Amino acid sequence: MQRIGVFVCWCGSNIAGTVDVQAVSDALQNEPGVVFSTNYQYMCSQAGQDIIKNAIAEHKLTGIVVCSCSPRMHEATFRKTAAAAGLNPYMVEIANIREQCSWVHKDMPTGTEKAIILGKAAVAKVNLNAPLKPGESPVTKRALVIGGGIAGIQTALDIAEAGFPVDIVEKKPTIGGKMAQLDKTFPTLDCAACILTPKMVDVAQNENIRIFSYSEVEEVGGFVGNFDVKIRKKARFVNEDICTGCGICTEKCPQKKVPNEFNLGMDNRRAIYIPFAQAVPKVATIDADYCTMLKTGKCGVCSKVCTAGAIDYTQKDEIIEEKYGAIVAATGFNPISMDKFDEYAYNQSKDVITSLEFERLTNAAGPSAGKLVRPSDGKHPHTIVFVQCVGSRCAACAEKGKEYCSKICCMYTAKHAMLTRDKYPDTDVYVFYIDVRTPGKAFDEFYRRAVEEYGVHYIKGMVGKVSPEGDKLMVQASDLLANKQLHIEADLVVLAAAIEPDKSARPLATQLTASMDTNDFFTEAHPKLRPVESPTAGVFLSGTCQGPKDIPETVSQASAAAAKVIGLLAKDKLTGNPCVAASDELMCNVCSSCERVCPYGAITYVDKEFRMPDRTTRVRRVASVNEAVCQGCGACTVACPSGAMDLKGFATKQIIAEVDAICR
Amino acid sequence: MQINGEFQPKIVAFCCNWCSYAGADLAGNNRLAYPENVKIIKVPCSCRVNPMFILRAFQRGADGVILCGCHPGDCHYTSGNYYTRRRMALLFSMLNYLGIEKERTRVEWVSAAEGAKFAQTMNEFTEAVAALGENKRLEDLRCKK
């Protein structure tokens, strides 16, 4: 039997004005288990807390009920008070008689009656409370960043800067991501490579950072502070430690007809390749799908020309196992496929391109060496039409595009239009838009410059159809403000394709048990207050894998995620929430209902020895809750058909006792 | 329960810790009145509410039970309120079949910012339950004093 003390707070007149506090403490005096009951003006004050401490000592209390304000306000205070007096802090219950009683009711008798009932419910609950101790788990002081774009690079650099080792896993042969493919960046128009590649070099030179390029995460186990990760290092058939990145092999390889993904297939590369000049690590990779030697066993040119002897046709995929304390997802984005947008004739004409392709066309290292030409005939385009929101804000055609705004297109289109007019003043540039959205530092000024200084024709309205006619593209569009149809004879059409999360994000989310929204963006723990944490403890989000973002935003989020990781890795031990699920092994029949509803993957199965009545032992599989992972939602307790699952602090018996007390 | 000859329903409200309990606190902070009949039980998530708790409440003489959780998509535990929605759809239709009118049971999404919605919901719900009168269907007479 518990020895319970009840402490009723007046909260000045906040409670005492509507609730007869003396009547409440008198009424609760007679409840089962209550050995002491009192009231005081301000329980949360030092004097009030001393009353509680003294009563715990004097009456050897094993549990206390404080009838006061909301537990969201002072539960922590009274738990500390109890702990200071040697009582387990989880033996404290609060009856909320201020926010949920005195403040919402006017009438003294009914208010008092309700306060008594709420007090009785709290007493009934405390009678069934058990001391709880938060679990502790060690922290592996190493972080994993998945994705080596600007988001992953920034996160890794910041974590490494704080002194913790970081591994970057990048599926491509080099880090750099989408930013490496860009030409200039808005709104300052500095060249992407000039600001990105020094960071890539920093990553390569940082002693705390290891880069696993051409690698993918194979398996994730464990939990916050203790993740066990298997990384598949794909065979690149080149010994990374020996290759000097001289590039002779990439010039001599006879297989010349491989679409160059770095230039979005607008030119070709060899079967052995280095994606771009500033690649990190600067190591050649053999594309096994195209290499004649790997396919037929006849060739070996690269091996012959490699003076370092780095080519190794027998290389196999390698599995690396490592432990991590925190994982950051930075998987990035891709433009959506234009296959479903027949109206823009993307698949019919080479001169209808996406904005990312335009980026490559204007880049000095791109397929046309930076000269803006039509991909079909290499001629200079005189009329260029930019189409905004291709697949973005597409609520009516969700099967084709995306409902959301891709956020970056207005700005990069303004950039493209401005740069085109700047370099080629003889071109006519049209931009068709639904709305121009330019919130951001110096963004609207940038857009206005495109219109006012550079004379870009911004037309509110959508393009209905693009039809190739001869070597021209006939663009049919509506001008909503002038209320008329337009027919433009264009040389080049640039589509601002919506962006979507990278395809690797969904399987990764499953491995991490991190949740995703309907668009496959990772969900954050709280949309406003915890934007860089995933709801899964120890998993953090960096960059566009969480939602569309431009570079400044991506970098801020990447640094924010790094700060969260550093905060986690700086701890030697993690203290958990003790109000977690627990399974009664004797009652569990391994139906796995609990495992299926658990959003955190906190439930595993263990083999447990049971002593049978005939003194034999039998091994049986039972559900077991990982207390470091469980967040204490209680979904499993309801799903469990045998009643084996219960939630500490909110046990079935406790809630039933509260229900009974209220309905009494 | 009869007070001064007027029927006063007993109403149990389960509120999730993250949204609805905070919403109820906000109703208090803003002094938005709702009937004393409503007594709140805090649960970590609406998905912690076992159908058994609701049956127990009716058995013990509750006249109405309301469940409040975070809005769909906003659950602190990602998916808890979706479980609640499905479980309660099933339970409430079964209870309706047993004669516990569907107006006596309700699931409502109340965010931490919706103090006014909380108070309004409780006012409406209490009124609806009061109009139905005492719940006798599942009441266990052994529980009566």
Q: For residue range A97-130, what is the model confidence (pLDDT) as tens digits?
A: 999 999 999 899 999 999 999 999 999 999 999 9
Give the distance from residue B52's alpha carbon to the nearest chain A alpha carbon, in angstroms: 9
Assess if residue B109 is contained within a domain.
Answer: yes
Please name the member of A103, A118, A655 whose beta carbon is closest to the beta carbon of B31.
Answer: A103
Of A258, A221, A88, A234, the closest CA to residue A173 belongs to A234
Map residue A493 onto helix, strand or coil: strand
Q: Which residues 6+ apart lie within 8 Å of A485 measured at CB?
A: A476, A477, A478, A479
Helix ranges (H only) for A547-631 are 551-569, 593-597
A residues 510-549 near B, CB within 8 Å?
Answer: 515, 517, 523, 527, 535
Name the burial class of residue A334, with classes exposed (0-12), middle (13-18) and buried (19+) by CB atoms within 10 angstroms of its CB: middle
A446: pLDDT strictly greater than 80: yes
Q: Is A202 on the interface with B (CB under 8 A)?
A: no
The Cα–Cα gap between A331 and A155 comes to 12
B2: pLDDT strictly greater than 70: no
Say what the pLDDT of residue A510 is: 82
- CB–CB contacts below 8 A, A to B: 131
Confirm if A628 and A137 have CB atoms less than 8 A apart. Answer: yes
Question: What are the chain A neighbours of B49 within 8 Å (beta carbons)?
Answer: 638
- Residue in chain B lying closest to A636 (CA): B48
Please name the member of A107, A118, A637 whose beta carbon is closest to the beta carbon of B48.
Answer: A637
Q: Which residue bears the tokens 């329980």?
A: A43
**B41 and A121 in contact by Cβ < 8 A?**
yes
Confirm if A391 and A400 have CB atoms less than 8 A apart. Answer: yes
Most A CBs within 10 Å, among B14, B42, B46, B129, to test the A interface = B42
Q: Which two tokens stand for residue A131?
A: 């001391």
**CA dihedral (B46, B50, B52, B53) positive or negative:** negative
φ, ψ (nearest 5 deg) of residue A286: -95, 125
CATH number of the domain where residue B132 is located? 3.40.50
Give the distance from residue B110's alpha carbon to the nearest chain A alpha carbon, in angstroms: 15
Q: What percent of chain A has pLDDT over 70?
A: 100
Q: Which residues 6+ apart lie within 8 Å of A449 measured at CB?
A: A418
φ, ψ (nearest 5 deg) of residue B49: -75, 110
Please name the member of A114, A597, A650 whose beta carbon is closest to the beta carbon of B43.
Answer: A650
The Cα–Cα gap between A202 and A148 comes to 13
B61: pLDDT strictly greater than 80: yes
Q: Is A76 on the interface with B (CB under 8 A)?
A: no
**B83 and A597 in contact by Cβ < 8 A?**
yes
B114: pLDDT strictly greater than 80: yes
Give the distance from residue A662's alpha carbon to the nearest chain B alpha carbon, in angstroms: 7
Of A295, A296, A289, A242, the closest CA to residue A270 belongs to A289
Of A255, A285, A278, the closest CA to residue A268 belongs to A255
**Domain span at B78:** 10-138
Q: Which amino acid is at A108?
A: M
The counts of H helices and E strands in chain A are: 17, 34
Assess if residue B4 is contained within a domain.
Answer: no
CA distances to A28, A79, B10, B62, B122 from A659, in Å: 17, 24, 11, 9, 18
Q: Crossing angle, helix A71-84 and helix A46-58, to 10 degrees?
A: 50
Assess if residue B5 is contained within a domain.
Answer: no
**A633 and B45 in contact by Cβ < 8 A?**
yes
The Cα–Cα gap between A142 and A501 comes to 26
Assess if residue B59 is contained within a domain.
Answer: yes
Give the distance from residue B79's alpha carbon to the nearest chain A alpha carbon, in angstroms: 7
Confirm if A538 and A325 have CB atoms less than 8 A apart. Answer: yes
**A662 and B10 in contact by Cβ < 8 A?**
yes
Please give the angle made by the CA atoms of A426, A432 and A437, to the nearest 5 degrees.
110
Mean pLDDT of the residues in chain A: 94
Give the distance from residue A483's alpha carbon to the nearest chain B alpha carbon, in angstroms: 40
Residue A207: how many other CB atoms lie within 10 Å: 7
Confirm if A268 and A253 have CB atoms less than 8 A apart. Answer: no
| 3 state SS for A32-94 | CCEEEEEEECCCCCHHHHHHHHHHHHHCCCCEEEEEECCHHHHHHHHHHHHHHCCCCHHHEEE
B8: pLDDT strictly greater than 70: yes
Say what the pLDDT of residue B113 is: 84
Question: What are the chain B neighbours of A528 within 8 Å (beta carbons)?
Answer: none
Region A428-452 average pLDDT? 96
**A635 and B56 in contact by Cβ < 8 A?**
no
Region A325-348 average pLDDT? 95
pLDDT digits (tens, 9 = 90+) for A255-273: 999 999 999 999 999 999 9
**A599 and B61 in contact by Cβ < 8 A?**
no
Local structure of residue B48 (DSSP, 8 states): G
pLDDT band at B145 (very low <50, low <70, confident <90, very high): low
Say what the pLDDT of residue B3 is: 66
CA distances to A272, A290, A303, A308, A314 from A300, in Å: 11, 13, 5, 15, 12
Say what the pLDDT of residue A150 is: 97
Say what the pLDDT of residue A104 is: 94
Q: Is A655 on the interface with B (CB under 8 A)?
A: yes
The Cα–Cα gap between A3 and A208 comes to 55
Say what the pLDDT of residue B139 is: 81
pLDDT digits (tens, 9 = 90+) for A402-421: 999 999 999 999 999 999 99
Q: Which two tokens stand for residue A604?
A: 């595993």
Q: Is A663 on the interface with B (CB under 8 A)?
A: yes
Say what the pLDDT of residue B1 is: 63
Local structure of residue A239 (DSSP, 8 states): -
Residue A653: how many other CB atoms lie within 10 Å: 12
Q: Which two tokens stand for residue A112?
A: 């008092």
φ, ψ (nearest 5 deg) of residue A272: -105, 130
**B36 and A111 in contact by Cβ < 8 A?**
yes
pLDDT band at B142 (very low <50, low <70, confident <90, very high): confident
CA distances to A5, A95, A546, A554, B42 from A332, in Å: 56, 47, 8, 10, 39
**B22 and A72 in contact by Cβ < 8 A?**
yes
Q: Which residue bears the tokens 């499953």?
A: A510
The Cα–Cα gap between A93 and B28 comes to 19
Q: Which two tokens stand for residue B48?
A: 């912690």
Confirm if A195 and A124 have CB atoms less than 8 A apart. Answer: no
pLDDT band at A7 (very low <50, low <70, confident <90, very high): very high
The Cα–Cα gap between A390 and A396 comes to 13
Assess if residue B129 is contained within a domain.
Answer: yes
Assess if residue B43 is contained within a domain.
Answer: yes
Q: How many domains does chain B have?
A: 1
Residue A492, beta-bridge partner list: A384
Question: What are the chain A neighbours of B60 within 8 Å (beta carbons)?
Answer: 659-660, 663-664
Give the distance from residue A515's alpha carbon to the nearest chain B alpha carbon, in angstroms: 7
Say what the pLDDT of residue B13 is: 97
Going along chain A from its start, the domains and CATH numbers come out as 4-126 (3.40.50), 141-233+317-332+502-575 (3.50.50.60), 235-316 (3.30.70), 335-499 (3.50.50.60), 581-648 (3.30.70.3270)
Assess if residue B1 is contained within a domain.
Answer: no
Say what the pLDDT of residue A284 is: 96
pLDDT digits (tens, 9 = 90+) for A196-233: 999 999 999 999 999 999 999 999 988 889 999 999 99
Assess if residue B72 is contained within a domain.
Answer: yes
Q: Is A624 on the interface with B (CB under 8 A)?
A: no
Confirm if A439 and A426 have CB atoms less than 8 A apart. Answer: no
Question: Which helix (DSSP H) or strand (DSSP E) does residue A428 occupy?
Answer: strand A428-433
pLDDT digits (tens, 9 = 90+) for A564-621: 999 999 999 988 889 999 999 989 988 999 999 998 889 999 998 888 889 899 898 9
Q: What percent of chain B has pLDDT over 90?
A: 76
Q: Please count the CA atoms within 13 angstroms of the CA of B93 that sit on its side-chain side.
A: 5
Give the distance from residue B5's alpha carbon to the nearest chain A alpha carbon, in angstroms: 15
pLDDT band at A137 (very low <50, low <70, confident <90, very high): confident
pLDDT digits (tens, 9 = 90+) for A532-545: 998 788 999 999 99
Confirm if A36 and A57 have CB atoms less than 8 A apart. Answer: no
Please name the member of B31, B47, B56 whose beta carbon is closest to the beta carbon of A638.
Answer: B47
Residue B52: how many other CB atoms lie within 10 Å: 16
Confirm if A291 and A282 have CB atoms less than 8 A apart. Answer: no
- Residue in chain B lying closest to A513 (CA): B78
Region B91-107 average pLDDT? 94
pLDDT digits (tens, 9 = 90+) for B12-27: 999 999 889 999 999 9
A residues 89-128 near B, CB within 8 Å?
Answer: 96, 98-101, 103-107, 110-111, 113-114, 117-118, 121
A384: pLDDT strictly greater than 80: yes
Say what the pLDDT of residue A313 is: 95
Most A CBs within 10 Å, among B4, B11, B25, to test the A interface = B25
Q: Which residues 6+ apart lie within 8 Å of A630 measured at CB?
A: A576, A580, A581, A598, A600, A602
Q: Which residue bears the tokens 């993904």?
A: A261
Sheet holding A428-433, edge to edge: A352-354, A492-497, A383-390, A428-433, A457-460
